Amino acid sequence: MPNTKQTDIAAIRNILERILDISESPVPRCRLLSSGFGPSHTLKVKEELTGTRACLGCGNCIDICSLLAREPARLKRTAQRTSLALETMVGTDCDRCYQCVLSCPQVDTTIKHFIVKNRSIEQMRHLLAHLQPTDDYYLDQFYEESGNERKPD
């Protein structure tokens, strides 16, 4: 639920690029670079939340994580559904697929659009680099969406 006046990519581009190059979950840092809670939320609370950059604990980033989808045993490390929990479960094995950032309600649309426009190819390259021969589901989906025939092994 970001603010209507969101973070200007030009002002954060260098640090954002560095964050997206690290093999750790990028969502907490992207959340902190965002504009925070917008005033149009429907939560019934008395506190003024506008500008709050806190994790909401919604768990969207955990549900969408490609690494956790492949290795669900990691989900047993904690029952929490926060960005800190995601960092604990992923560690330095992040695929850099950026789906956690795209799914987070606390990350500005400006940052999400930057990723969609500038990081799609790298996103797929990093993901393919992490896949094992048994992860055929992902490879088949990739080949299907790219319009290429997959050659038999």
Residues at the interface with ligand SF4 (CB under 6 A) = 25-27, 31, 55-61, 64-67, 81-83, 86, 90, 94-100, 103-106
102 Cβ partners below 8 Å, 6+ apart?
64, 112, 115, 116
Q: Scanning the structure block, which residue is given the tokens 């025939």?
A: 149
56 Cβ partners below 8 Å, 6+ apart?
105, 106
CA separation, residue 82 to residues 20, 37, 57 (Å):
19, 16, 4
**Closer CB to ligand SF4, 105 or 135, in the complex:** 105
Least distance from C-beta 47 to ligand SF4, angstroms?
A: 17
Least distance from C-beta 153 to ligand SF4, angstroms?
A: 25
Q: Does residue 6 contact residue 34 with C-beta atoms inside 8 Å?
A: yes
**Closer CB to ligand SF4, 10 or 121, in the complex:** 121
**Closer CB to ligand SF4, 117 or 152, in the complex:** 117
Least distance from C-beta 116 to ligand SF4, angstroms?
A: 14
Amino acid present at 89: M
**Closer CB to ligand SF4, 9 or 105, in the complex:** 105
Least distance from C-beta 11 to ligand SF4, angstroms?
A: 21
**Cα–Cα distance, 15 to 118 (Å, whole number):** 15
